[in-house]
Amino acid sequence: MGTSSKPVSKSVSSYCYQCVAGPDLMKVDVIDGVPVQIRPNGSAAAVHPAHGKVCVKAFGLIQKTNNPNRIQTPMIRSNPRKGRDQDPGFRPATWDEALDLICGKLIDTRNKGLTDESGFPRVAASFGGGGTSTVYMGTFPAFLKAWGPIDMSFGSGQGVKCYHSEHLYGEFWHRAFTVSPDTPMVELIISFGANVEASGGVCGVRRHADARDRGVKRIQVEPHLSITGACSAEWVPIRPKTDPAFMFAMLHVLLHEVERDRLDVPFLKARSASPYLVAPNGFYMRDPATRKPLVWDLKSGQAVPFDTEGTDPALDGEFVVSGVEVGPDDKTWQHEAVSCRTGFGRLVDHIAPYSPEWASGICDVPAGMIRKTALEFLEHAHVGETIEIDGCTMPFRPVAISLGKTVSNGWGGYECAWARTLMAVLIGGLEVPGGTLGTTVRLNRPADNRWSSVVPGPDGFMNYPMNPTRKGEFNETSGSRHAHTTLIPLAANSPWSQALGPTHLAWMAQKQGFAHLPDPTPPDVWFVYRTNPVISFWDTKAVGEAIAKFPFTVCFAYTMDETNHMADVLLPECTDLEGLQLIRIGGSKYVEQFWEHQGFALRDPASNPMGEARDFTWIATQLAKRVGLLEEYNTAINKGAAGVRLFGANYDFSLEPEAEHSVEEIWDSACRAASAELTDGAESQGLEYYRQHGFRTVPFPKRRWYLYPAMAEKGLRFELPYQERLLRIGQELGARLHEMGITWWDRQLREYEALPHFQDLQSLWEKAIEAQYDVKIGDYPFWLLSARSMQYSWGGNAGIQMIHEVAANVAGHGGVVMNPQAAARLGLSEGDRVEVCSPVGRTDGAVILRNGIRPDTLLMIGQFDHWKTPFAKDLKTPSMNGLVPMSLELTDATGSGADLVRVAVRKATGDAARAGK
Ligand SMILES: Nc1nc2c(c(=O)[nH]1)N[C@H]1C(S)=C(S)[C@@H](COP(=O)(O)OP(=O)(O)OC[C@H]3O[C@@H](n4cnc5c(=O)[nH]c(N)nc54)[C@H](O)[C@@H]3O)O[C@H]1N2
Ligand SMILES: Nc1nc2c(c(=O)[nH]1)N[C@H]1C(S)=C(S)[C@@H](COP(=O)(O)OP(=O)(O)OC[C@H]3O[C@@H](n4cnc5c(=O)[nH]c(N)nc54)[C@H](O)[C@@H]3O)O[C@H]1N2
Ligand code: SF4
Ligand SMILES: [Mo]
């Protein structure tokens, strides 16, 4: 894209982390101080999983930096009234004026107390893009740390609209905040709506392309033919939200239609809870003395604690056993000679009704195809084989099932996550080469790598930092406006937990609180960066109305957008190619980032800031200084709040706590500490080194991609198939909530089943909408879904012309994707403007006819419907987000919901019809 004939005056090292599939490394060519071209970083080819390349979105950064619509000075609102229909009347201000205004507000707030009358933090903050904002916000996290409690419960969709059940149950079962096939070794991938060719970033695309070269087969199960489906071996057009039926039927084939020894019986006995005996009330039968779960030892013909050496536990069967059973709140039952089935046996019985023939009618997929898929899964499992990685012998199971976000959130997410993880366990393919792997930990600690989070917990399983549910330990107040530690035991309480709480409840509460929770209050001060909930959330109208009532909102602003339209102050920060920052790279990160190296990479400014934009670290330092928290702020940086701890066992590059430090001084210390960390204190090269080299890594052993060796070394088991712990926790949670008088979470309590049963999710959705809006569901005959686009990172780059231009060449963008037969029935043709309505809202767009979509399904790619973001607002691109309700009824026990809704379509009239002209 370099168009100038002038020679490149310098090449600057940087990284792109515009979507969660990063970070990826790149070079920026600069001519006379102007960045003109993004290039792959060739010197990273040997260490980076995509050989130093970046995806199309990174190439948009040149236009992003020079976007004429950028906010170039701080701006202060002059119109006190807020709302979509109000002109905010922003006027330019100096940094001094803007910072004085914000810090005055913060000092007043602090004087009132860090928490308000409801016990909620007075300061709230929302960041977008699944946590990626952190790598662009310099030392701002250290400012937040210095401040004290911050409420992060006002979300933008990351979490509740994301792979939410996978996030929570994945972390619980195998330290898997997200899950990936071991793509470089897998032979068969069965994907339920995982659109990896659009969502997997440059590493995902590279790994899957290499896998196809090796002859890997992918079966894509989803209602519309995505980019991923289009380059898969098979597309199975399943009916929306019926995936649990398909997966339960696969389990049926594995458990009822093939010989047992085709499963990995040794793995099931040693590495899962399959042999644990279940007592009459549904909890494990335990040894009275040690309270350890019992297994039936086939060698000695008696029940023994699960960890007894030299036993051969029965996988299946019913045995007469005495012991003690422990239920909720330590309720115990003594049993004398009662009949107990193993957890595995209970599973076999539980799955019996769910045959492929049963599932076929639900999923609209022929029984033969479901059966064939299950058998192929088994054929590719290579049960019994091993492989050596870094001198460590592990099972080799080259088959994996992946789930997309809409399959793993909302109701049905538990069933799908459980069935997928369980199928991996049945063939010994969880966390082993070729199989199903977790990528990264976010809720468990320590979070530096997955192995160190393998800490022994109860009953031979890994520990999990569950929010307490026992009497006396339960948190009746959460300190967050969505009550995550009260309602969601699995959300834990790590720095990430608030973002993974039921964030829509925070928005809903602003309109009408929830009985027996503290009164809802808006935050006194709300900070917003790189997120646009007024576009990305559900019922975007209601979200906008809630935001308009917040008394004081500070948005870091790149251009105007629908959320910062309601702000009181806009602060322009140095963007991607302008700011300075050092981040961690390597190891394993979400999506498909599996590295054999780890270390640090620098984002070195390639351009002077546009206008008055300032480096985020400078802004954070100014805030800390002016609020009187400089010492706490520097101390937080020293302790690692900005990504690198500045001291270690044999080095110390800590900042003088009481002094104000320049941006370069801070990052120089971070670079020195990073060098020291990687060399165990031997070296300490600073900023100059990273400017020259861009990044620095040391090897990350590949065996650490797999949790299995750490589990085996500690003698631990995966907590499957039977969810005894969750059953107990659900009952305790129910008791606690009822003691508080809360009955509105009862529907969610039912998800705490030891073995999930099938629920008719389609009718659950339909009934919830009929009840909430007093409509007839028959008037809304289509399911509306959304899908990722490789060109767009959420709505974050929707205002960039080049991205739109590229996307316009890729099928499906910019309108309402519809099956031609369905369109013909409504008299619609390609390009017709249509109005799409749900009981909550409406949008309009142009019909895009595609055979690759079910006739009962519509699709709108991405998240659009912008009315303020420059350029994006002129695209007339529809989005589902104004049409999807925020609904307690449609919230699952983990606190998430799904991006789908029932809609009606009709030819547009009036303004909507003219919009496209
Ligand atoms: N329809 C639909 N909606 C969805 C989803 C979906 O699949 N379909 N997915 C959901 C999921 S999983 C997620 S994680 C969320 C994500 O949703 P969000 O986290 O809200 O992300 P974005 O929409 O990217 O919002 C980014 C905002 O930051 C601004 N911005 C971009 N770059 C910069 C910058 O350099 N500086 C500043 N100050 N601002 C910048 C952009 O203009 C934009 O307004 O969306 C959810 N919403
Ligand atoms: N380029 C790019 N990459 C990204 C992002 C981005 O914005 N842009 N965002 C990142 C984030 S935060 C996330 S959460 C991930 C999401 O990654 P994915 O989950 O892979 O993303 P989507 O394309 O939104 O998934 C939608 C797919 O699910 C299918 N689907 C919808 N409903 C159902 C259903 O009921 N059953 C089945 N089987 N399929 C269904 C749709 O047909 C569609 O193909 O992507 C990440 N990567
Ligand atoms: S996949 Fe693309 S947008 Fe995402 S971080 Fe990598 S280069 Fe950036
Ligand atoms: Mo997401």
Ligand 2 cavity residues, CB under 6 Å: 19-21, 130, 162-163, 192-196, 198-199, 221-224, 226, 238, 240-241, 243, 404-407, 785-788, 790, 792-794, 900
Q: Is residue 835 part of a domain?
A: yes
Q: Are 583 and 657 found together in one domain?
A: yes
Confidence at 914, pLDDT banded by 50, 70, 90: low
Domain boundary among 404, 438, 472: 438
User: Are 784 and 663 found together in one domain?
Assistant: no
Angle 845-848-849 (CA atoms, 0-180°, nearest 5)? 145
pLDDT in tens, 283-308: 999 999 999 999 999 999 999 999 99
Is 860 domain-assigned? yes
Whether omega before 468 lies within 30 degrees of 0, making that bond cis, reads no
Q: Could you tell which of 156, 614, 903 is best to mutate to test the pocket of ligand 1, judged by most ligand atoms within 8 Å of the CB?
A: 156
Q: What's the gap in Å between 40 CA and the centre of ligand 3?
A: 11
In a domain, 876, yes or no: yes
pLDDT digits (tens, 9 = 90+) for 760-783: 999 999 999 999 899 999 999 999
Contacts of 725 by beta carbon, 8 Å cutoff, 6+ apart: 458, 459, 461, 719
Whether the CB-CB separation of 184 and 716 falls below 8 Å is answered with: no
CA dihedral 491, 496, 502, 507 (to 10 degrees): 160
Helix residue ranges per DSSP H, 33-163 = 56-59, 61-65, 95-112, 140-147
258 in the same domain as 379: yes
Per-residue pLDDT, averaged over 586-598, amounts to 95
Residue 618 C-alpha from the chain's centroid: 30
| Same structural domain, 688 and 785 | no
Q: What proportion of the chain, given as a percentage, has pLDDT over 70?
A: 99
Same-domain check for residues 290 and 430: yes
Tell me if 249 CB under 6 Å of ligand 3.
Answer: no
Rounded CA separation 92/153 (Å): 30
Atom of ligand 3 at shortest distance to CA of 56?
2
Q: How many CA atoms lie within 13 A of 292 on its CB side?
A: 14
Q: Rounded mean pLDDT of 53-79?
A: 97
Q: What is the Cα–Cα distance from 139 to 643, expressed in whole angstroms?
A: 9
Tell me: do 698 and 765 sit in the same domain: no
Counting from 1 in the atom list of ligand 2, the atom nearest the Cα of 200 is 47
Same domain, 257 and 187: yes
Of the candidates 661, 681, 702, which is a domain's last residue? Answer: 702
Question: Tell me, what's the pLDDT at 290?
Answer: 98
Residue located via tokens 């099938």: 758
- Backbone angles phi and psi of 793, in degrees to 5: -100, 100
State the helix-helix crossing angle for 343-351 and 243-252, rounded to 10 degrees: 120
Domain for residue 890, yes or no? yes
Give the closest residue (by CA) to ligand 2 atom 47.
199
Compute the residue count for the chain. 917
Residues 6+ apart with CB under 8 A from 281: 325, 327, 333
Atom in ligand 1 nearest the alpha carbon of residue 787: 7
End-to-end CA distance of the chain: 32
- What is the per-residue pLDDT across 383-411, written as a single tens digit (0 to 9) for each? 999 999 999 999 999 999 999 999 999 99
∠ Cα 149 121 534 (to 5°)? 110
Q: In terms of DSSP bridges, do strands 525-529 and 553-556 run parallel, antiparallel, or are they unpaired?
A: parallel
Judge whether 586 lies within some domain.
Answer: yes
Question: Taking a C-beta distance cutoff of 8 angstroms, is the pair 569, 613 a contact?
Answer: no
Q: Let me know: does 492 contact 443? Beta carbons within 8 Å.
A: yes
**What distance in angstroms lies between residue 280's CA and the mean position of ligand 1's atoms?**
49
**Nearest protein CA to atom 8 of ligand 2, as residue:** 793
Q: Does any domain span residue 857?
A: yes
3-state secondary structure of 63: helix
- Give which of 508, 509, 510, 488 is closest to 498, Cα–Cα: 488
Assigned domain for 741 exists: no
CA of 211 from ligand 3 middle (Å) equals 20
> Which atom of ligand 2 lies nearest, measured to the CA of 162?
14
**Nearest ligand (C-alpha, residue 191):** 2
Find out whether the beta carbon of 22 lies less than 6 Å from any atom of ligand 3: yes
Mean pLDDT over all residues of the chain? Answer: 96
Q: Which two tokens stand for residue 260?
A: 């047992």
- The answer on 649 and 766 residing in a single domain is no
Q: Using H for helix, E for strand and C for coil, what is the string for 234-250?
A: EEECCCCCCHHHHHHHH
Using the structure block, give the residue that is written with the tokens 């937040």: 144
Å from CA of 243 to ligand 2 middle: 15
What's the pLDDT score for residue 448?
Answer: 81
Ligand 2, from 195, 226, 791: best to mutate by most atoms within 8 Å of Cβ? 195
Residue 21 near residue 204 (C-beta atoms within 8 A): yes
Shortest-distance ligand to the CA of residue 192: 2
**pLDDT band with cut points at 50, 70 and 90 for residue 158:** confident
Tokens of 684: 């300490």
Cα Dmax for the chain: 89
How far apart, in whole angstroms, are the C-alpha atoms of residue 395 and residue 387?
A: 6
Same domain, 347 and 251: yes
Nearest CA to ligand 1 atom 47: 536
Which range of residues forms the domain containing residue 603? 10-66+577-702
Work out which ligand 3 atom sits closest to the CA atom of 202.
Answer: 1
pLDDT at 144 over 70: yes
Whether 277 maps to a domain, the answer reads yes
CA-wise closest residue to 394 among 430, 440, 439: 430
Number of domains in the chain: 3
Query: Same domain for 682 and 767?
Result: no
Q: Is 18 in the pocket of ligand 3 (CB under 6 A)?
A: yes
Residue 915 confidence (pLDDT): 61
501 Cα to the center of ligand 2, angstroms: 20
Q: Please answer whether residues 245 and 354 qualify as being in contact, where contact means their C-beta atoms are separated by less than 8 angstroms.
A: yes
User: DSSP letters along 409-453, please?
Assistant: SSTTHHHHHHHHHHHHHHTT-BTSTTSEEE---SSSS--S-TGGG
Domain end, chosen from 702, 723, 739, is at 702
CATH number at residue 220: 3.40.228.10
Whose Cα sits closest to atom 1 in ligand 3? 201
Same domain, 622 and 766: no
Residue of 793, 800, 803 with the most ligand 3 atoms within 8 Å of its CB, for mutation: 793
Do 687 and 766 belong to one domain? no
pLDDT at 478: 82
